Chain A
Amino acid sequence: MLEHFFLLTCAERTVKVLAAMSGGVDSAVAAARLRDAGHDVTGVHLALAAKPATMREGARGCCSVEDSHDARRCADVLDIPFYVWDLAARFRDDVIEPFVAEYAAGRTPNPCLRCNEKIKFAAVLDRARALGFDAVGTGHYARLDRADPAHPVLRRAVDPDKDQSYVLGVLRPDQLAGALFPLGDSPKSEVRAEAAARGLVVADKPDSHDICFIPSGDTRGFLDERLDAAPGEMVDPDGAVVGHHGGVQHFTVGQRHGLGIARPAPDGRPRYVLGLEPVSRTVRVGPAEELDVAALTASAPVWLGPAPADGSPVEVQVRAHGGRASAIVAVDGDAVEVRLDQPLRGVAPGQAAVFYRPDARGDVVLGSATIAATSSVSEHGPVPVGH
């Protein structure tokens, strides 16, 4: 821990930092470390829910009144100023509405990633900079070297289970230049122990896992309140109609449960969602091996340095947890062609593909793009071996 402070104080001049405090243990310890590193720290809790839940509904990791209270308690213990910023309208426009629209379009969005891109390191960072702050600090697990402000280097966290570089992989260099992630060098267990040692009441607070604006965890119910039913057919790879559904928004590529198909597959094996076609309202289903993706196309890339040269070997990650494979990329302007060395199962359009350069000191994020289309092993032929 001491070594960490030493590195931070050496690498960073003392700056005015806005610590985004969700009310959870990670952001509280991040704020504490920033303060101890000598920075001038002000805590801010982002109110993102249009109607913050009441205390009685309990804390879910962010957004509720109880979380706001927990964040304030921690800020008071750290003796730093604390404010609540109401970004509910921005959050609705930039995160929730696109989330719903993406599902309606048959894609699978990642709202945490969008929140980092559009809220924490856009609306909040811009406002903080205008108010005289130099950076926004958060409790994300990722390592960030800002020695060269024009070319910040983002790496995976030390703790592989907590690494959140994926949800930060969409940030532009100018956004990362205003970010501080003081937890990237620490395993989670150390952060919890540190919170307890510091007397922060959130030391034992459970991690949040659900989408913060769907505290019930019922994504389908949330979408049904916002989207009209759009019933359609489920078809197998032969084109046979094997069932019906209430809307493509109920499904994610790779999903096995809740398909509601009465008739078993001829070979008796389970069926999975292979693809979603919102225009024809078709859900394509089929056997597991059809999910094996050999190549994908991603669009709207954001690169932290020069775009990788054609044929560059990279590691690609296609969802927040797992879904990693080595690959060859070819960048053509706004499109990135990715050929996977090993097939990945369940790659959903709408998710981000984050590209890494493997490095013993922590894989370096090269950039990201949004997955637009995939081709399965069966379409693409076997994955070539040997490169």
Chain B
Amino acid sequence: MTYLDHAATTPMLPEAAVTLTEALGRVGNASSLHSAGRRARRAVEESRETIAAAVGALPSEVILATGGTEADNLAVKGIYWARRAADPRRTRVVVTAAEHHAILDAGQWLADHEGATLDVLGVDAVGRLRPEALRELLAAHADEVALVSVMWANNEVGTVNDVRALADVAHEFGVPLHTDAVQAVGSLPVDFAACGADALTLTGHKLGGPVGAGALLLRRDVACTPLLHGGGQERDVRSGTLDVPGVLSLATAVRAAVADVPRRTEELTALRDDLVARVLAVVPDASLNGVPLDEPAGSRLPGNAHLSFPGCEGDSLLMLLDAHGIECSTGSACTAGVARPSHVLLAMGIPEDLARGSLRFSLGHNSVAADVDAVVDAIGPVVERARRAGAALAQS
């Protein structure tokens, strides 16, 4: 089996799996006062410190949550509510057209139910938000903006935004910036303090930790209204009994993944460049989406290869590759499982037909050269067959 869908979820690191399973056998609510509770509390706090140290944050800035979707919703809605409460004019939420649905749909929900105005900024042809575009909007509406949310690295095409520059622009106008960094942590150097963002989302299962464990890094001076009310366990910003084994395993994975970034960057970049070059050699009219490979390192996720195959339906390609034991991904699918052209590709100006014929291969921590060979061996006949199917559908 050739697993090239690490951007969807990546295998757990062995040490994270050990931490998780060992912790599952121990009792203890981190909020309890007895010794079992104290032990759990200590383990959680050490984990918080581990996570904070790995990503350049203070322990008190780590709000433990269930993952990317919760942390994104907490940031967008919570900061919106808090900023609007402080100044009722601040009802604009600024995002990019390439954001994950956890951001786009949270912003749209605020627009539909909470009187917000959602500003969706366009991205350039590689999927990047230009700082000037943000400045233009803030210059006109700074007093009305509650927050800006811009992803660190795009989950589909792997494009990396200049978070530092964007945060600087936002701060010029006194606006906080949140960044969804679920694809970045463990793949790129991420330093919360240095990047300037006011809030940052990370999640365990994208970096070798467990599903269901993640965090919102939130500066102490940024007010955020809770989504979940109850025991107030996480700085009164997030309630719910902490999942101690999940938190411990998350910390183990974050520490290991971040330490492994230099190796991953080097190896995955080489594998990815090889994959792209050899696929393009077999299918010359295919095209790479996102940042070109000759741009400086760090401008694209090292494991991401996103390609369009003219004349093919992405779901035909996916089915045929799956039959060859190669697991990759098309863009997004609706709840019924219907393939839809990716909103990210459309935002980059890629025509709908070409967007439908696109595949994402995402390499990860255990990818090897044989994975690339498998794709290269299969892709020629697969594309040829998918083209025949596309032509059959167009004619019949």
Are the C-beta atoms of A126 and B336 separated by less than 8 Å? no
Most B CB contacts (10 A, CB to CB) among A52, A123, A130 go to A130
Are the C-beta atoms of A84 and B392 separated by less than 8 Å? no
Are the C-beta atoms of B338 and A86 separated by less than 8 Å? yes
Please give, as numbers and ranges, the residues of chain B lying within 8 Å of A273 by CB-CB distance: none
Answer whether A84 and B338 are a contact pair too, CB < 8 Å, given A122-B396, A127-B392, A131-B389: yes
Q: How many Å from the CB of B114 to the closest CB on chain A?
A: 22
Which residues 47-99 of A have a CB within 8 angstroms of B? 47, 52, 54-55, 64-65, 68, 72, 81, 83-86, 88, 90
Are the C-beta atoms of A84 and B396 separated by less than 8 Å? no
Which residues 208-241 of B have a CB within 8 angstroms of A? none
Contact of A130 among B334, B339, B392 (CB under 8 A): B392
Are the C-beta atoms of B319 and A130 separated by less than 8 Å? no
Q: How far is the CA of A123 from the CA of B393 in the complex (A)?
A: 6
Q: Does B133 contact A (CB under 8 A)?
A: no
Q: How many Å from the CB of A326 to the closest CB on chain B?
A: 36
Which residues 126-145 of B have a CB within 8 angstroms of A? none
Q: How far is the CA of A144 from the CA of B390 in the complex (A)?
A: 29
Q: How many Å from the CB of A30 to the closest CB on chain B?
A: 20
Please give, as numbers and ranges, the residues of chain A lying within 8 Å of B318 by CB-CB distance: 83
Please give, as numbers and ranges, the residues of chain A lying within 8 Å of B84 by CB-CB distance: none
Answer whether A42 and B319 are a contact pair too, CB < 8 Å, given A126-B396, A130-B392: yes
Q: Does B1 contact A (CB under 8 A)?
A: no
**1/0 contact string of A110-154 vs chain B (CB within 8 Å):** 000000000000110011011110000000000000000000000
Q: Does A45 contact B (CB under 8 A)?
A: yes
Are the C-beta atoms of A130 and B322 separated by less than 8 Å? no
Answer whether A81 and B396 are a contact pair too, CB < 8 Å, given A47-B337, A127-B389: no
Are the C-beta atoms of B316 and A131 separated by less than 8 Å? yes
Q: Does B335 contact A (CB under 8 A)?
A: yes
Tally A-B pairs: CB < 8 A: 66
Q: How far is the CA of A129 from the CA of B395 in the complex (A)?
A: 13
Q: How far is the CA of A85 from the CA of B396 in the complex (A)?
A: 16
Are the C-beta atoms of A65 and B336 separated by less than 8 Å? yes
Write the chain A residue with the least CB distance to B381: A132
Answer whether A81 and B336 are a contact pair too, CB < 8 Å, given A127-B392, A131-B386: no
Are the C-beta atoms of A132 and B396 separated by less than 8 Å? no
Are the C-beta atoms of A84 and B337 separated by less than 8 Å? yes
Are the C-beta atoms of A52 and B389 separated by less than 8 Å? no
Are the C-beta atoms of B393 and A126 separated by less than 8 Å? yes
Contact of A84 among B333, B389, B393 (CB under 8 A): B333
Please give, as numbers and ranges, the residues of chain A lying within 8 Å of B388 by CB-CB distance: 130-131
Please give, as numbers and ranges, the residues of chain A lying within 8 Å of B337 by CB-CB distance: 45, 47, 68, 72, 83-84
Are the C-beta atoms of A52 and B334 separated by less than 8 Å? yes
Which residues 86-141 of B have a CB within 8 angstroms of A? none
Which residues 302-324 of B have a CB within 8 angstroms of A? 315-316, 318-320, 322-323
Most B CB contacts (10 A, CB to CB) among A81, A90, A127 go to A127
Q: How far is the CA of A65 from the CA of B320 in the complex (A)?
A: 24
Are the C-beta atoms of A47 and B338 separated by less than 8 Å? yes
Please give, as numbers and ranges, the residues of chain B lying within 8 Å of A52 by CB-CB distance: 334-336, 338
**A interface vs B, CB < 8 Å?**
42, 45, 47, 52, 54-55, 64-65, 68, 72, 81, 83-86, 88, 90, 122-123, 126-127, 129-132
**B interface vs A, CB < 8 Å?**
315-316, 318-320, 322-323, 333-339, 385-386, 388-393, 395-396
- Since A86-B315, A126-B392, A126-B396 are in contact, a sample of 6 more A-B pairs with Cβ atoms closer than 8 Å, ordered by chain A residue number, is A52-B334, A52-B338, A54-B335, A81-B323, A130-B393, A131-B385
* Closest 9 pairs (CB-CB, A-B): A84-B337, A130-B389, A130-B388, A126-B392, A130-B392, A126-B396, A52-B336, A68-B336, A47-B338
Q: What are 5 A-B pairs at a CB distance below 8 A?
A: A54-B335, A84-B315, A84-B338, A86-B338, A90-B393
